[in-house]
Amino acid sequence: MIFLRRLLILLSLLCCRLVVAEPLQVTASFSVLADVAREIGGERVLVHEIVHSNQDMHVYRITPQDLRQVRSSKLVLLNGQGFEPAEFVRSIQAAKVPFVEAVQGINLMDNHDEHEHEHNDKHEHSHGDKDPHVWQDPVLMQKYAENIANALISVDAASSDYYKKRLADYQKQLKELDAWATKEIATIPLAKRKVLTAHDAFGYLGEHYQIRFIAPQGVSEDSEPSAKQVANIIRQIKQENIRAVFIENINNPRLVRQLSRETGVDISGKLYSDALPENSSYISMMKHNISELVKAMKQ
């Protein structure tokens, strides 16, 4: 009897080893990209992320541990267009693992100021003058998700139907997110759609939903505005009666706090710009941001 039970256990172990394939190892550069890759990859993909929730890509330095992870992956997903610092991208290239940029084929907006996205080497920024923060527009995100699905298929063609089905489900959720956001924002008159944030990460959100974002820090992290620029922003907040003033999850709130103090406008809350909240998804991050924005602009 015991022998029979042991034999059964042994058989079931053997059969499971044969049936369950090892998941595909994929590394994504940051939390938003990793979440979308998990949505599409399902149980067939194990996604590692380099820059985690609430961490700032602008100032991230890739570690030997990250590179070990990269080398054991079949595919690396990058956002592209200079979102990842040049040194970060060079390390990925040197690892000789296939990599794909999720923004490829997306019509990118120009950066509307002179700041670089990259923080440490002003002469080496590779993104030119395009804005890499594409994920702030759920419509563009449908193409972004398709690029991720195609990247997975390029290294795992056998699962093509599986990834395509999951992509279609996810794109449907993105459409629903956009329909909801459009309806929410429509409740705010155009003249009141003005928001102050720390760094210039919301260009695509602003473009798609007709919200004007004002950001003292440009798209970069270390470009501290001059006293004159700060004075100009203070004047702008007062003149235009801006009521929606936000700090971000990835950067120091000091400058926004100063602006809030000097204008007497309370800080409305926190927006998630370049990284997800902890234990969250891209879709819930967007819902949080839109709800907070609408609440603040209503005032």
Q: Which residues bind Zn ion (CB under 5 A)?
A: 201, 274
Residue 40 or 256: the one with the smaller Cβ distance to Zn ion is 256
10 Å Cβ neighbour count for 59? 15
Give the amino acid at 121: D
Closer of 171 and 197 to Zn ion (Cβ): 197
Query: Minimum distance from CB of 202 to Zn ion (Å)?
Result: 10
| Nearer residue to Zn ion within complex by CB, 38 or 58 | 58
Sign of the Cα pseudo-torsion (93, 99, 105, 106, in order): negative
Query: Nearest approach, Cβ of 168 to Zn ion (angstroms)?
Result: 30
CA–CA–CA angle 172, 174, 175 (5° rounding) = 65
SS (H, E, C) 130-168: ECCCHHHCCCHHHHHHHHHHHHHHHHCHHHHHHHHHHHH
Residues in the chain: 299
Which is nearer to Zn ion, 119 or 208 (by Cβ)? 119
Tokens of 67: 């590179």
Query: What gap in Å lies between CA 292 and CA 248, rounded to an integer?
Result: 12
The residue (of 153 and 198) whose beta carbon lies closer to Zn ion is: 198
CB of 201 to Zn ion, least distance (A): 4
Find the shortest distance in angstroms from Cβ 58 to Zn ion. 6
Distance CA 181, CA 259 (A): 28
Residue 144 in contact with residue 247, Cβ under 8 Å? no
**Which two structure tokens, joined as six digits, stand for 127?**
């993104």
Nearest approach, Cβ of residue 273 and Zn ion (Å)? 6
Least Cβ distance, residue 176 to Zn ion (angstroms) = 26
Q: Between residues 188 and 196, which has the closer beta carbon with respect to Zn ion?
A: 196
User: Which of 102, 89, 136, 138 is closest to 276 using CA atoms?
Assistant: 136
Of the chain, the end-to-end C-alpha distance in Å amounts to: 75
Minimum CB separation of residue 48 from Zn ion in Å reads: 21
User: DSSP letters of 37-78?
Assistant: HHHHHGGGEEEEEEE-TT--GGG----HHHHHHHHT-SEEEE
Assigned token pair, 157: 């063609």
Nearer to Zn ion among residue 106 and residue 153 (C-beta)? 106
Cβ proximity to Zn ion: between 35 and 274 the closer is 274
Minimum distance between the CB of residue 133 and Zn ion, rounded to whole angstroms?
6
